[in-house]
Amino acid sequence: MEFSTFVMNDQLTKLKQGDCNDPHSVLGMHTMEEEGRTSLVVRAFCPTACSVEVISVEDSTKRYPLLSCEDSGIFEGVIKKRKNKFLYKLECQDAEGNKWDYVDPYQFSSTFSDQDLYLFGEGTDYEIYNKLGANVKEVMGVQGVTFAVWAPHAKRVSVVGDFNNWDGRRHAMRFIETHGIWEIFIPDIHEMTIYKYEIKTEKDIILYKADPYAKYSQIRPDNASVVYNLNKYKWKDKKWIEKRSQTAYYKEPVSIYEVHIGSWKKHSNGDFYTYKEAAHSLAKYIKEMGYTHVELMGIIEHPFDGSWGYQVTGYFAPTSRYGSPDDFRYFIDIMHKHNIGVILDWVPAHFPKDAFALEKFDGTALYEHIDEKQAHHPHWGTLIFDYGRPQVALFLIASALSWLEQYHIDGLRVDAVASMLYLDYGREGDYVPNKYGGRENLEAIEFFKKLNSVAHSRCQGIMMIAEESTAWPRVSHPVEQGGLGFGFKWNMGWMNDFLTYMKIDPYFRKYNHEKITFSLMYAFSENFIQVLSHDEVVHGKSSMIYKMPGDDAQKFANLRAAYGYMFMHPGKKMLFMGNEFAQTTEWNEKKELDWELIQNEPHACVQQYVKDLNKFYKAHKCLWEIGNGYENFEWIDCDNKDQSIISFIRKGPQIKDKLVVIINFTPVVWHTYRIGVPERAVYKEVLNSDDIYYNGTGVVNSTVHAADIPWHGKPYSIEINIPPLGMSVFKIEKLLKESPKKKGK
């Protein structure tokens, strides 16, 4: 063995100084031509070793010592008797006689093909998470992990962890300069290895960053990334996925239970339920309550519990608070086993300024907008993604697809859509307009169109849901029809008007009657979900039961009437956990729900009422099988503001599917109240929120016959008793061929 003639070249100097951006061109095994003869040269960087030998993996008797280069930690040797490269290990020994060996990572070629790089550059490699990040792979018959990260402005990037004593000189990465990607394959790295990227910026500042594409992370407050193999889990939900692929949810009943796993229930010592522990108890409860879906808050990795998961640092990792990625997959499997769909809150609107995460990732504005004025979110103190940058849009779309494809998630509820659509959101006029001088964020609009088009084309039967709080048109319309491509939109307008109305003393509701009826002016302009989410029971807004006016009995009656109207109103449904049994305190992520309340009759009765509402909703097609809109809904009387009574018809495919709904928003009982009905028929009361069964006052109705007395613009009418602060629902039991005898008023 001997030194090569270029041992002290410029790259070796940079390597020793930690500035080498192409270590694979220096380290590892290379062929060299000298005096017309081909030889091999091997270089290694082993700063703690005093001797290093090259050992053939195929034949361990073939050993070649390397020579130390001026005590720099660099070892080199020329193998003159061999011309062809071979797979080898390095055996090292330190001054104390300790020995260790490892397969040299610098002998492996790049794992990126030209096609990979092309698709990444144009932002269309939607499975980029299989290439960027840490991926357990076998290369040349050797097990290990490929690490790759996008950091185009870095001077040098290394993988660091316990496996190399967090020494950034040990596993410096190869730079693919044309695309800004750094990569390395490290043999013998195992699952659950913790790591970060050590990034040397152009200004020679050292940053330690978590992997943007990490599949798993340490439990907060620690924040290193964790190697995890997602290829070993065996799914058991094939039947569910096949059924879902044939389902159009806008034509199906959808009732969603919004849940924060960390506070739904806790162990007696305050510990979280794990994904596996929550799976069985939550699935059982959701099934008993009659919901069709669960929507999960705070699953995507985030450092601060108080953000509820809306300030994300790990866009590809389920939070480690509750277990491993495969534990989360188990949770989803259990939900699907019980025919419960899983919706995930997903946050592409902004990200936090935590130094270990995406902020100034390679020392420059990489994921955030390069313009400082457009990069900072005025409401949340966070940073805004640069949606016009192909690699950033790809990062987000790949994140969405990873949840849909790798975790079998059935839908994504996209948070804070309005903040993305408007350049002036929260900026009070101080904003940078688009190229046409407008306030619309053109890049975000195109991002949504691409996201939804790709997601729906690749994942059949999923739900893409927009939390969009403005009147932006056609949010839930197909892209080819000029829409944003979402499948559904949260009905924030209804929610705001509805809660404002319900909080008003019944005596004054007649002066605000339009707040309870206006939503029907636009109810079919989008595929709406009627939502009463976590946002409505925090920050001093009060719990649902304490939004209601009156004494305790009236509060519960108001709440039952409110939920009744929500379920009879057009649109899918979503209710936040605790609302179903009238939780009295605001939601607090630090403590579990007040389950002891259901030992009290009023709370237990509300829980039973919500259970029955879900059952009733799913059983009646007229409440969810919509056509083109208003053929499914018809007002009977929307103008009775003096009595604060509304009435309407929900219509299904058949005449007998029709439901007649009457809701009284005052504490007054109205006997022999005449109401117009569409058919000459016998009507049966099928639901009454004032039933004693629900802890009401018992103002209920028996079967009633329609009379040939026109009323409310309808050819027939019935006389009923209307309960105080209550809802009555009637269904046609039998059509009448002959007119019954008319009764006097």
Nearest to 225 by CA among 236, 211, 213, 207: 211
Residue 737, CA distances (Å) to 680, 708, 709 in order: 8, 12, 16
Which member of 91, 295, 362, 467 is catalytic?
467
Beta-carbon-side half-sphere exposure of residue 440 (alpha carbons within 13 Å)? 9
Collect all residues with Cβ–Cβ distance below 8 Å to 94 and sequence separation of at least 6: 48, 49, 50
Alpha-carbon torsion, ordered 544, 549, 554, 555, to 10 deg: 10
Segment holding 634, helix H or strand E: strand 633-637
Which residues face 183 on adjacent strands? Answer: 148, 174
Token pair in block for residue 47: 């700063």
Active site residue 424: no
Beta-carbon-side half-sphere exposure of residue 365 (alpha carbons within 13 Å)? 15
Contact (CB, 8 A) for 418 and 469: yes
E strand residue ranges, 85-187: 88-93, 99-103, 133-139, 142-150, 156-161, 174-176, 181-187
Which member of 76, 198, 368, 415 is catalytic?
415
| Conformational region of residue 240, where left means phi above 0, alpha means psi within -120 to 50, and beta covers everything else | alpha
Residue 591 DSSP symbol: S
CA separation for the pair 279, 671 (Å, rounded): 48
CA separation for the pair 545, 558 (Å, rounded): 8
Amino acid present at 545: I
Give 257-290 as a DSSP string.
Answer: EEEEHHHHSB-TTSPBPPHHHHHHHHHHHHHHHT
Contact (CB, 8 A) for 620 and 652: yes
Beta strand 670-677 with 659-664 is unpaired
Active site residue 211: no
Active site residues: 415, 467
